[in-house]
A = this chain, B = another copy of it.
């Protein structure tokens, strides 16, 4: 595979962007053949700068829910841009969008729109503290809630004070959660939880209903706020807050990534009990009132509400999981698929430094399938049975190929460094 253009761009990027490309879309920790830059997206596919097309199981790390460039969404967005986007005040779309989200999300009585998932999670923390007058926020160990100083996974430039009164518990462990609540004494402001455990580098885990119910009960007992961070999983599991599937209703939920199908908007939703506290904090951003992403969000949400996108992606997910499972078994490869079928994570047994996963992913990429070797993926509604079958067929080939050269695969140097740092 030719990567000439991508290499040239990386060379230029290294001069004007720290580390080349920073953040979650950096390929520094991916197999070396993975392209860093793309030129086009359409439906379920992306094209790199050297002209290779890929069926994309990353879906932009979440934002692509209906398919890249969905014309129903983009036409609504463009029509609004032509009228007005970032003005001296919001358009009526801000009210319409808030009404629409409140009508779809059972626990929600109000919405605040922002730009980053991190904006929403940081506001949730602040609202919980404003509501309770207390300080301690409980977060599951290893869970990702954004990249602000209080939650970013990297320590550089972060002070102990940035994490003050953030306490940790083990996801899906009701006893650990109860112990953390007891440890907070009378200073508990809120409990964060992702809908399911979707930490990178490790098997996903569906939520234990006992743990989720315990989180709700502990908040009821203490007056702390329960916060479901639906930024990543939102609208991928249900058309409501994800923990409605367990019958557990939070006080606050955070949203982003997918609800405008890739247009830049995120949100904090809250129940009546948190309305006054949400109104008491000062939060804003230059583009938080922009109309174009709100038009895109309304168009997306109406499709989510009225179409079978959810049932489609779940059916695609089951087809994929079953096909890959058979292919791995046939090749005699220990292969784990975890999490909701429409948000799959693939890991290999006996692969502590991910070298097997990397080799497999590289081989899949060569066959035009973009998968991620250590992060959960996403299915989108633009995928078809034929696309899924293409993944399975490629996997059959790749599993066999990897199986044959297991003893020749070397680990990825950058990832080895990271893993060594994590285990230190």
Interface residues of A (CB under 8 A from B): 9, 12-13, 15-19, 21-25, 27, 35-42, 46, 49, 56, 58-64, 68-69, 74, 77-78, 81-92, 94-95, 98-99, 102, 109-112, 114-119, 122, 125-131, 135, 147-150, 152-154, 156-159, 161-162, 164-165, 231, 256-257, 262-264, 266, 270, 275-290, 293, 370
Contact = CB atoms under 8 A, between A and B. Distances in A.
Nearest to A130: B157
B69 A82 contact: yes
A12 B72 CA distance: 27
B41 A115 contact: no
Nearest to A34: B89
Contact of A92 (B25, B39, B77): B39
Nearest to A114: B116
B116 A286 contact: yes
A23 B285 CA distance: 8
Contact of A157 (B56, B64, B129, B262): B129
A36 B95 CA distance: 11
A286 B62 contact: yes
Given A147-B285, A157-B126, A81 B84 contact: no
Contact of A116 (B15, B40, B287): B287
Contacts of A283: 22-23, 147, 152
Contacts of A36: 89-90
B282 A88 contact: no
A292 to B, nearest CB: 8
A25 B280 contact: no
B16 A111 contact: yes
Contacts of A263: 85-86, 287
Given A37-B92, A112-B22, A156-B130, A117 B61 contact: no
B25 A89 contact: yes
A64 B149 CA distance: 31
B16 A277 contact: no
Contacts of A152: 281-283
Contacts of A161: 161-162, 164-165
Contact of A98 (B13, B150, B275): B13
Given A86-B64, A89-B37, A92-B49, A282 B23 contact: yes
A22 B88 contact: no
Nearest to A261: B86
B46 A94 contact: no
List the 7 closest A-B pairs by CB distance, nearest first. A23-B284, A130-B157, A154-B282, A126-B157, A18-B279, A86-B262, A264-B287
A130 B22 CA distance: 16
5 contacts: A16-B98, A39-B92, A68-B84, A264-B264, A264-B293
A288 to B, nearest CB: 6
Contact of A18 (B92, B110, B153, B287): B110
Contacts of A17: 94-95, 98, 110-112
Contacts of A231: 286
A287 to B, nearest CB: 4
Contacts of A293: 264
Contacts of A270: 18
A77 B86 CA distance: 14
A420 to B, nearest CB: 17
A94 to B, nearest CB: 7
A84 B69 contact: yes
A278 B87 CA distance: 32
A111 B14 CA distance: 11
Nearest to A88: B58
Contact of A281 (B13, B58, B64, B154): B154
Contacts of A23: 282-285, 288-289
Contact of A285 (B38, B64, B117, B128): B117
Contacts of A280: 154, 156-157
